[in-house]
């Protein structure tokens, strides 16, 4: 398969125009040199230095992504969670990306609400504030009141954002495909699944029905916990482009002075926040994945109200069990077991060195030996683990990278509330209790029961499935497909060798034919014309041979 850059990438004129604009913005922040240093010059032929100032590469990348709008802002925020893939200075800089945008015009807001809810906002709501509370790249928020007096907020999706996101995702996907096939970075990192996961997450954020469902799932998980409050979704006033939910009051978790004024103990808030996160991780397997301070409001009784459910994460039972075992291995200074559990989670690159990775983990654990769990920082351990993964070109699964980001941010929130708060010290007893619960006799009996039921069901289904399989074999419908890593690259190399051999044979035949023709007699009267033909043929043969040698030399260098 040839490179998509050997021909125009796209057939859609708008996409071509957008791709050139993206390249121009990157170039204007001095990122053309960064592309050349990382072997991306061939993938970005339009990159030329622009007239703007050239900040440091990490800062330039943040500024460029922020200028390019919704898709690239979300991409930067996602990359800020991937310390296993990017250098620390890029991760730190991208974490500063703020999702803000100019307000949507009131006319566009009215048109969207009218089209989706069947009437303009002044007829749908008893009161509708025309000045937005906040405006972001995907949508903006307005305060409103329902006919029964309920105070709500209404999120309205920005017009044209879906088309913009789809266009930008196409550019990102094509670039990822090229990088995957033609650069050393792409050889080490499996980019296409990362881009697919990013695209899936972003498309979900565009759908406000999905966000409402996320909120309801978390509300159900905390239905019996008065320390956490999730706003109610008003489905009669919610569509894919409009989301209506209860308005959240209270004090922002970052407003420490206001918390002190209302008399809410900061320590209580920090502990409630950690319990909330651990319950989502250990019990629900579904968690709010954007825990920045603007999404949490503290109630007078210390309860935490949560908003913005567009970004969520999921943790399967298998992943949770491996995480628990990895945490216990870290506490017990068992580098070998920690390595095995991380590899079981999918932390493995194409050139992973198991022994070297274990050795680095052992050195990391050795630095923490003799220190109590209360002296350890979850953020510091996470950063060091990510640095080791980056050094070994290991790739963390998306759910694990997102989880590590949430751990770091939630610990930071706890320390902001109470500088003496020890995240791991507080969380450790909860995690150990959950481990004991999962490995109790009752849990074991339940697991055995489920396994026996699955085995019985398989035993009943096996004869029928075996019969279907044998029938397909008899009909000749059964096909065996093998996938061998590196086979495509080998096939391309063999194809190139065959093409060069064929060209060499043609070149040799041309030279021999010219030599034979020069010795032929009986062509008097046309010598002048033949001499011109022979000269042209000779020059062509020399040029052809030179090109062949050059292509062989370039292929050897690649």
Residues tagged active-site: 290
SS3 433: helix
Strand bridging mode 139-145 / 151-157: antiparallel
How far is the C-alpha of 326 from the C-alpha of 378, rounded, in Å?
Answer: 14
- Here the tokens at position 338 are 């920690």
- The residues facing 312 across adjacent strands are 288
306: DSSP letter:
E
How far is the C-alpha of 356 from the C-alpha of 4, rounded, in Å?
Answer: 37
How far is the C-alpha of 209 from the C-alpha of 310, rounded, in Å?
Answer: 10
Which DSSP string do the residues of 103-134 spell out, in sequence order?
Answer: PPPHHHHHHHHHHHHSS-HHHHSSEE-SS-SE
How far is the C-alpha of 235 from the C-alpha of 350, rounded, in Å?
Answer: 47
Burial of residue 241 (number of CB atoms within 10 Å: 0-12, 13-18, 19+): buried
Consecutive H or E run containing 188: helix 184-188
Strand bridging mode 312-314 / 286-288: antiparallel
Q: What are phi and psi of 420, to 5 degrees?
A: -95, 0
Strand bridging mode 304-306 / 228-229: parallel
Q: Using an 8 Å Cβ cutoff, are 121 and 110 in contact?
A: yes
Q: Using an 8 Å Cβ cutoff, are 91 and 80 in contact?
A: yes
How far is the C-alpha of 23 from the C-alpha of 175, rounded, in Å?
Answer: 12
Length, in residues, of the chain: 558
Q: Please, which residues have CB within 8 angstroms of residue 54's CB and are 6 or more apart in sequence?
A: 29, 30, 60
- Here the tokens at position 312 are 């969520």
Ranges assigned E (strand) in 106-256: 127-128, 134-135, 139-145, 151-157, 228-229, 242-246, 251-252
Burial of residue 285 (number of CB atoms within 10 Å: 0-12, 13-18, 19+): middle
How far is the C-alpha of 347 from the C-alpha of 341, rounded, in Å?
Answer: 9
Measured CA distances, 265 to 300, 420, 455 (Å): 10, 13, 53
Q: Please, which residues have CB within 8 angstroms of residue 440's CB and are 6 or more apart in sequence?
A: none
């Amino acid at each position: 398969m040839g490179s998509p850059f050997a021909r125009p990438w796209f057939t859609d004129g708008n996409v071509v125009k957008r791709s050139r604009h993206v390249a121009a913005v990157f170039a204007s922040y001095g990122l053309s040199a960064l592309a050349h240093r990382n072997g991306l010059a061939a993938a970005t032929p339009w990159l030329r230095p622009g007239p703007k100032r050239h900040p440091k590469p990490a800062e330039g990348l943040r500024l460029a992504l922020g200028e390019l709008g919704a898709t690239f802002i979300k991409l930067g925020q996602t990359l800020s969670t991937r310390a296993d893939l990017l250098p620390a200075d890029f991760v730190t800089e991208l974490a500063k990306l703020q999702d803000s945008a100019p307000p949507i015009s009131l006319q566009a807001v009215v048109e969207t609400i009218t089209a989706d809810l069947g009437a303009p906002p002044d007829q749908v709501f008893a009161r509708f504030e025309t000045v937005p509370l906040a405006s972001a790249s995907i949508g903006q928020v307005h305060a409103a009141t329902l006919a029964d007096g309920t105070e709500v907020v209404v999120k309205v999706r920005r017009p044209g954002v879906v088309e913009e996101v789809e266009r930008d995702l196409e550019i990102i996907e094509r670039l990822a495909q090229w990088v995957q096939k033609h650069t050393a970075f792409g050889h080490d990192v499996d980019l296409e699944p990362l881009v697919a996961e990013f695209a899936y997450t972003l498309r979900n954020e565009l759908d406000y029905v999905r966000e409402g469902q996320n909120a309801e799932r978390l509300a159900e998980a905390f239905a019996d916990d008065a320390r956490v409050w999730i706003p109610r979704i008003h489905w009669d006033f919610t569509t894919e482009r409009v989301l209506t939910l209860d308005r959240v009051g209270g004090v922002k978790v970052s407003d420490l002075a206001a918390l002190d004024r209302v008399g809410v103990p900061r320590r209580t808030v920090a502990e409630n926040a950690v319990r909330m996160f651990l319950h989502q991780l250990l019990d629900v397997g579904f968690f709010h994945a954007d825990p920045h301070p603007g999404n949490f409001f503290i109630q007078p009784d210390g309860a935490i109200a949560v908003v913005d459910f567009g970004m969520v994460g999921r943790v399967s039972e298998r992943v949770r069990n491996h995480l628990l075992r990895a945490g216990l291995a870290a506490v017990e200074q068992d580098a070998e077991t920690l390595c095995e559990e991380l590899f079981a989670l999918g932390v493995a690159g194409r050139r992973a060195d198991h022994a070297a990775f274990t050795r680095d983990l052992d050195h990391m654990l050795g630095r923490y030996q003799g220190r109590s769990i209360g002296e350890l920082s979850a953020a510091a351990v996470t950063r060091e683990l990510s640095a080791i993964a980056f050094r070994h070109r290991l790739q963390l699964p998306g759910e694990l990278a997102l989880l590590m980001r949430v751990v770091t941010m939630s610990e930071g929130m706890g320390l902001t509330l109470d500088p003496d708060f020890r995240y791991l010290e507080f969380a450790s007893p909860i995690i150990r209790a959950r481990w004991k619960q999962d490995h109790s006799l009752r849990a074991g009996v339940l697991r055995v029961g489920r396994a026996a039921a699955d085995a019985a069901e398989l035993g009943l289904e096996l004869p029928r499935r075996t019969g279907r399989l044998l029938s397909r074999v008899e009909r000749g419908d059964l096909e065996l497909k093998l996938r061998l890593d590196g086979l495509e690259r080998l096939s391309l190399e063999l194809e190139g060798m065959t093409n060069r051999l064929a060209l060499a044979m043609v070149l040799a035949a041309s030279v021999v034919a010219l030599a034979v023709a020069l010795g032929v007699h009986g062509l008097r009267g046309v010598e002048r014309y033949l001499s011109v033909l022979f000269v042209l043929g000779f020059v062509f043969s020399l040029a052809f041979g030179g090109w062949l040698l050059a292509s062989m030399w370039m292929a050897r260098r690649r």
